[in-house]
Structure 1
Amino acid sequence: MSMQNTARRTFSSLSNSNYRKYFFGQTTSLVGTWMQSTAQSWLVLVLTHSATDIGWVVALQTLPVLLLGPYGGVIADRVDKRKFMIVLQIFMGLQAATLAVLSLTHHASFVAVCILAVILGLNNSFENPSRQAFIMEMVGPEDLRNAVGLNSTMNNVARAVGPAVAGILIASVGEGWCFAINALSFVAVVGSLMSMDESQLVRTERTVRAKGQLLEGFRYVRRSPQLALPLLMMALVGTLAYEFQVTLPVMAERVFHGNSAIYGYMTAAMGIGAILGGLVTAARGKTGLRALINAALVFGVTIAFAAFAPLLALDLAALALVGYGSISFLSMANSTLQLRTDPQMRGRVMALWAVAFMGSTPIGGPLIGWMTSMFGARIGLAIGAGSCIAAAAMGTIGLRRVQRRRALLGATN
């Protein structure tokens, strides 16, 4: 009975038919997305033989999120999120199809990859806050923590499967087929969104267009340390730690003298660890600053182990722990923000989350790429480990200040 209860608790949000459709459609699409991410990094390495150039492509793909992400959150608060996501997912499929045609016809160039990366980034700057806020509309507050944990598991099942399949395809038939499969995978998520029962959605009242809504989002976060601290921690970790698409290809090729298949195995090892982390978070997930600080510290320690593992087998084991720590940190931060945000502000707050997580890459991607080129992939990973530990320290200092302020207010009252 206890195992049945655990299973029921772990997958409780899947009892919602709309979320169940979305979950399986998005899982299919994310497998393709991770295949494309893996193939794109390898394609750039083949075209330019430069880790710095991989970093620049990643930066260009995420720069629009940094610049336009907050405005994307304003739009998310104004529109029908389901319909908006359908349009954006279709455009993402067309971007992947274009990259597939260029690669399969041997017309792919570094400049073309950069242009398409910017196009995808423009789409992501609007799609990400809508998708994050739409989770609440599908499942409601009672199942939000569980759904966020399962979303993380979904993403990392795809992380485990996608890069492994991509590595095999790259070695056998080339990068182009990875992009083509990703283009086709968007049919699944678009179909799931179109087939939803709208009457079951927990609609958030749309924000009426007015002046100052962008700045209102920043002021709202600044007034609440429970929102500001997780975002600042995420910005630091997102800038320097989540640059695995820059460091791991170089780690595979130059540290362990492997090919694209080894790179796929390394990314898949992270995904396997993250699947376990996502399931544990879905069943027993915690929220709040204290839990987030502990997760950041664990994440940093595991990255340090991966950075200096002397053998490939040990590095794969360490990367599995990195995946576990990564998803624990992400899920706790995401749930903490969503549960502490007013419904009418959720799109804007989650847009700032996207800026902290993805939008910080234009800074971190080239920086870690340059550091990796100059000092090696191990140092690139070690910098990420240090950023996690620094974020934990920053969170601890901020939490103590919040507690001290509350104590003073209590004594005054």
Structure 2
Amino acid sequence: MPDQHDYGGRLVAANAFATASGWINRTAVPLAIYTLTGSAVQTAVAFAISHLPAITVGLVGGVVADRFDSARVSKLTLFGSALFILCIAWTISVDALLPLTYLALFLNSSLSAIQLPAFQALVAHSCPPHRLLDINVRLGAADQTNSVLMPALGGGLLMAFPPALVFVLSAALYLGALAVLWPLSAPGAGKGTALRTLQGIRDGFAIIHARPELASGVMTFALSNFSTTLLQSTVVAILAMRFELGSYQIGLFFAAAGVFGIAGHAAASKVALRLPLPALLAVNTLACSGLTALMIIAPSAQAFALLWGSTILLGAVNVTAFNTHRQLCVGPAEMGRAVAASRVLTYFPIPVAAGIAGPVLHLLGPAWLIAFSATMRLLGVCVCLASPFNLSMKRAS
């Protein structure tokens, strides 16, 4: 077993490999399917299939992460993801097998829904409390960096090489993450834990409900995700309608947003534990609401990008702070269920907002959609202010 000082670097490196693969897949899968079929419907179906496990299988994933050794679960899910991505490389190369791509995509996303709570549980088991904030900052920065670089890399590779080769690279990244995690174990994780699945799922929601600061954080993130998705799902159309930007300029816009996200995770290291969680979320969410409202009168694409990036920065601070507080006040033995319940509750509004955003933009225009988004953030502030500010900074046993 490696010395404990090695854990942080290994966790960050493994997460960087795995999220790099995930970001390549988010770009490569829809592009490959659309290129092969020419069907927007089939592309949309692939998007829906890849997101469905987060609010279905994810609930079971939390129980699995707490029932078994979280290190072993993380390794098995990474290996399984590599296999299913290789299956996609095969199925998209044979016309008759293309329908199986959707099955492989669902299975890979299902493993990812298990891997996320398992990895968070592994972080909680492996890292001492005083290092959790630093680890979360580094994990968030790595993910945000991949969100900037990997979609462009995936799209560029698809232009230069057959899709199958791109998915082979993606599978290799999963295997790289597995190799980095291989020496790690989670002593005591899952031992003696006989959890029934349905009871374990209920326990996950009970864990969040029993901690007011986490419950308010989850509700705030649910409203923030709804607000953010209203704009994220339509921002390409908004930029084209208001500022007549082309595809290259829109790509630069998203790259700039990613840079703001990296800065946000860095800033979290300074402020994440200085305020009670509800207070921090309230301040940042209120600022995001004001910045979103200012987008209505942004005079240029550059001003709009600055406002957008600022909301991304503050959102990154909130994410890092919430993850760290959750690890401090939820015991490692319950971490998987807590992460799974949190994810389901905060993820569920995303498809709802995506379905509403298009019609609102079409019927009322960008200004009203942006105002709607800002208002939903204000509701999140109200949730924060209604929560008791009594978080103990002592880690749960």
TM-score of the aligned structures, taking structure 2 as reference length: 0.81
SS at match of 1:241: helix
Of 305-314 and 132-141, deviating more is: 305-314
- For 2:267, which of 276, 280, 288 is the aligned residue? 280
Distance change (3 Å), C-alpha of 1:393 and 1:84: same
8 Å contact from structure 1 (residues 167, 263) kept in 2: no
Displacement of 1:63 after TM fit? 2.3
Structure 1 segment 11-410 matched on structure 2, within 5 A:
16-42=5-31, 57-103=46-92, 115-169=103-157, 178-196=166-184, 198=185, 201=186, 203-204=188-189, 206=191, 208-211=193-196, 212-242=199-229, 246-251=233-238, 261-286=248-273, 287-305=276-294, 309=298, 311-371=300-360, 383-396=372-385, 398-399=386-387, 402=388
Which string of whole-angstrom CA distances, capped at 9 and with x for unpartnered residues, describes residues 198-224 of structure 1? 4xx564464621443332332333232
Distance change (3 Å), C-alpha of 1:81 and 1:291: same
8 Å contact from structure 1 (residues 285, 332) kept in 2: yes
8 Å contact from structure 1 (residues 74, 214) kept in 2: yes
| Percentage identity across paired residues of the two chains | 16
Distance change (3 Å), C-alpha of 1:294 and 1:171: farther
SS at match of 1:17: helix
Q: Which amino acid aligns with 1:213?
A: G
Distance 1:382 1:53 in 2: 32
Distance change (3 Å), C-alpha of 1:118 and 1:379: farther
SS at match of 2:330: coil
Distance change (3 Å), C-alpha of 1:115 and 1:311: farther
Which string of whole-angstrom CA distances, capped at 9 and with x for unpartnered residues, describes residues 39-96 of structure 1? 445567776686x987664443222221232322112111111111111112222333
Distance change (3 Å), C-alpha of 1:175 and 1:281: farther
8 Å contact from structure 1 (residues 42, 260) kept in 2: no
Displacement of 1:242 after TM fit? 4.2
8 Å contact from structure 2 (residues 226, 350) kept in 1: yes
Displacement of 1:403 after TM fit? 6.5
Distance 2:350 2:108 in 1: 14
8 Å contact from structure 1 (residues 306, 315) kept in 2: yes
Distance 2:147 2:61 in 1: 26
Q: Which amino acid aligns with 2:313?
A: Y
Distance 1:108 1:259 in 2: 36
Displacement of 1:156 after TM fit? 0.5
Which string of whole-angstrom CA distances, capped at 9 and with x for unpartnered residues, describes residues 167-202 of structure 1? 444555586665443222112211111133x4xx56
8 Å contact from structure 1 (residues 301, 385) kept in 2: yes
Distance 1:68 1:97 in 2: 21
Of 311-320 and 28-37, deviating more is: 311-320
8 Å contact from structure 2 (residues 233, 354) kept in 1: yes
Distance 2:101 2:231 in 1: 19
Displacement of 1:339 after TM fit? 1.4
8 Å contact from structure 1 (residues 235, 357) kept in 2: yes
8 Å contact from structure 1 (residues 38, 163) kept in 2: yes
Distance 1:289 1:194 in 2: 37
Q: How big is the alpha-carbon RMSD for the aligned residues of Structure 1 and Structure 2? A: 3.6
Distance 1:55 1:307 in 2: 29
Displacement of 1:356 after TM fit? 2.7
Distance change (3 Å), C-alpha of 1:54 and 1:343: same
Distance change (3 Å), C-alpha of 1:182 and 1:386: farther
Distance change (3 Å), C-alpha of 1:71 and 1:29: closer
8 Å contact from structure 1 (residues 164, 265) kept in 2: no
What is the total number of aligned residue pairs between the two structures? 383
Q: Which amino acid aligns with 1:227?
A: L
TM-score of the aligned structures, taking structure 1 as reference length: 0.78
Query: 5+ residue gaps in structure 2?
Result: 391-397
Distance change (3 Å), C-alpha of 1:248 and 1:271: same
8 Å contact from structure 1 (residues 277, 323) kept in 2: yes
Distance 1:157 1:296 in 2: 23
Distance change (3 Å), C-alpha of 1:153 and 1:285: same
Q: Which amino acid aligns with 2:267?
A: V
Of 96-105 and 75-84, deviating more is: 96-105
Distance 2:169 2:338 in 1: 33
Of 362-371 and 159-168, deviating more is: 362-371
Distance 1:158 1:88 in 2: 20
Distance 1:248 1:33 in 2: 22
Query: 5+ residue gaps in structure 1?
Result: 1-13, 405-413
Distance 2:350 2:337 in 1: 19
Distance change (3 Å), C-alpha of 1:379 and 1:219: same
